[in-house]
Amino acid sequence: MVGMKKRNTYLWLIVFLLPNFLGFILFIGFPIISSFGLSFTQWDLLGSISFVGFDNYIRMVQDEEFWRAFRNTFLFIFGYLPLVMVFGLACALLLNKQMKLRAFFRASYFLPVITSWVAVSLVWKWLYNPNYGLINYFLSLIGIDGPQWLHDPSTAMIGIILASAWKDIGFVMVLFLGGLQNISPSYYEAGSIDGASKFRMLWSITIPLLGPTTFFVTVISLINSFQVFDQVMIMTEGGPSGSTTVMVQNIYNYAFRYYEMGYASAMSWALFIVIFFFTWLQIKFQDKGAN
Amino acid sequence: MKANHQAVIRKFLFYLLLVVGAFIMLVPFLWMISTSFKGSGAVMVFPPEFIPNELTFANYQEVVGKFPMMKFLWNSLLVAFLTTIGQIIFSSMAGYAFARMHFKGRDPLFLLYLATMMVPTQVTMIPQFILIREFGWLDSYQGLIIPTMFAVFGTFLMRQAMLSIPRELEEAAFMDGANHLRVFWHVCIPLIKPMIATLGIFTFMQSWNNFLWPLIVVSSNELATLPLGLSLLQGRWSTDWSLMMSGVVISVVPILIVYLFAQKYFIQGMTMSGMKE
| pLDDT tens digits, B119-176 | 999 999 999 999 999 999 999 999 999 999 998 999 999 999 999 888 888 888 888 8
pLDDT for res A6: 67
Q: What is the DSSP letter of B164?
A: T
Instruction: Specify the range with the lowest mean pLDDT, choosing from A167-171, A257-261, B109-113, B272-276.
Output: B272-276
Amino acid at A120: V
Residue B162 to residue B166: CA distance in whole angstroms: 9
- B219 near A CB under 8 A: no
Residue A235 domain flag:
yes
Same domain? For B17 and B94 the reply is: no
Domain count, chain A: 1
The closest alpha carbon to A235, from A138, A123, A132, A155, belongs to: A123
pLDDT average, residue stretch A125-147: 90
For residue A4, tell me if it sits in a domain.
no
B41 and B77 inside one domain: no
Q: Which residues of chain B have pLDDT under 50?
A: none
B133 interaction partners in chain A (CB closer than 8 Å): 45
Q: Report yes or no on whether pTM surpasses 0.95.
A: no
What mean pLDDT is reported for chain A? 90
Residue A20 lies in a domain: no
pLDDT of residue A185: 84
Q: What is the ipTM of this complex?
A: 0.90
Q: What is the mean pLDDT of residues A53-74?
A: 95
Residues 6 or more apart whose Cβ sits within 8 Å of residue B272:
B157, B198
User: CA torsion sign, B93 to B95 to B98 to B102?
Assistant: negative
Going by pLDDT thresholds of 50, 70 and 90, the confidence category of residue A156 is very high
Element (H, E) at B117: none
- What is the count of structural domains for chain B? 2
Residue A265 touches partner B, C-beta closer than 8 Å: yes
- Please report, for residues A175, B32, B37, the alpha-carbon distance to residue B42 in angstroms, rounded to integers and kept in the order given: 41, 14, 10
pLDDT value, residue A288: 62
Query: Domain range for residue B225?
Result: 61-273
Which residue does chain B place closest to A165, by CA atoms? B25
3-state DSSP of chain A:
CHHHHHHHHHHHHHHHCHHHHHHHHHHHHHHHHHHHHHCCEECCCCCCCEECCCHHHHHHHHCHHHHHHHHHHHHHHHHHHHHHHHHHHHHHHHHCCCCCCHHHHHHHHHHHHHCCHHHHHHHHHHHCCCCCCHHHHHHHHCCCCCCCHHHCCCCHHHHHHHHHHHHHHHHHHHHHHHHHHCCCHHHHHHHHHCCCCHHHHHHHHHHHHCHHHHHHHHHHHHHHHHCCCHHHHHHCCCCCCCCCCCHHHHHHHHHHCCCCHHHHHHHHHHHHHHHHHHHHHHHHHHHHHHC
Is A191 part of a structural domain of the chain? yes
User: What domain range is A278 assigned to?
Assistant: 63-290
pLDDT cut 90: percent of chain A above it: 60
| B173 shares a domain with B46 | no
Pick the range with the lowest mean pLDDT from A31-40, A53-62, B176-185: B176-185
Query: How many cross-chain Cβ pairs, A to B, lie less than 8 Å apart?
Result: 256
Test A264 with B126 for CB contact under 8 angstroms: yes
pLDDT attached to residue B154: 93
Choose among B129, B149, B230: nearest Cβ to A118. Answer: B230
Q: Are B22 and A91 in contact (CB < 8 Å)?
A: no
Answer whether residue A86 is part of any domain.
yes
Query: CB B25 to CB A170 under 8 A?
Result: yes
Res. A1 pLDDT band, cuts 50 70 90: very low
| Residue among A29, A94, A227 whose CB faces B122 most closely | A227
Nearest-angstrom CA–CA distance, B275 and B277: 6
Q: Is B266 on the interface with A (CB under 8 A)?
A: yes
Could you say which of B34, B58, B82 is where a domain stops? B58
In this structure, what CATH number is given to the domain that contains residue B242? Answer: 1.10.3720.10
pLDDT (average), residues A88-110: 87
pLDDT for B95-131, tens place per residue? 999 999 989 899 999 999 999 988 999 999 999 999 9
B162 at A interface, C-beta within 8 A: no
Cβ–Cβ contact A89 with B under 8 A: no
**Which domain-ending residue is among B37, B58, B79?**
B58
Residues forming a β-bridge with A189:
none
Measured between alpha carbons, how far is A250 from A59 in angstroms, rounded to an integer? 14
Q: What is the CATH number of the domain that holds A246?
A: 1.10.3720.10
Q: Residue A291's pLDDT band (boundaries 50, 70, 90)?
A: very low
Q: Is there a single domain that holds both residue B51 and residue B85?
A: no
Q: Does B27 touch chain A (CB under 8 A)?
A: yes
Residue range A131-143: average pLDDT? 90
The confidence score (pLDDT) of residue A287 equals 66
Question: What integer pLDDT is reported at residue A104 of this predicted model?
Answer: 87
One-letter amino acid of A220: I
What pLDDT score does B2 carry? Answer: 63
pLDDT band at A25 (very low <50, low <70, confident <90, very high): very high
Does residue A286 sit at the B interface (CB-CB below 8 Å)? no
Indicate the pLDDT class of residue A66, thresholds 50, 70 and 90: very high
The amino acid at residue A233 is: M
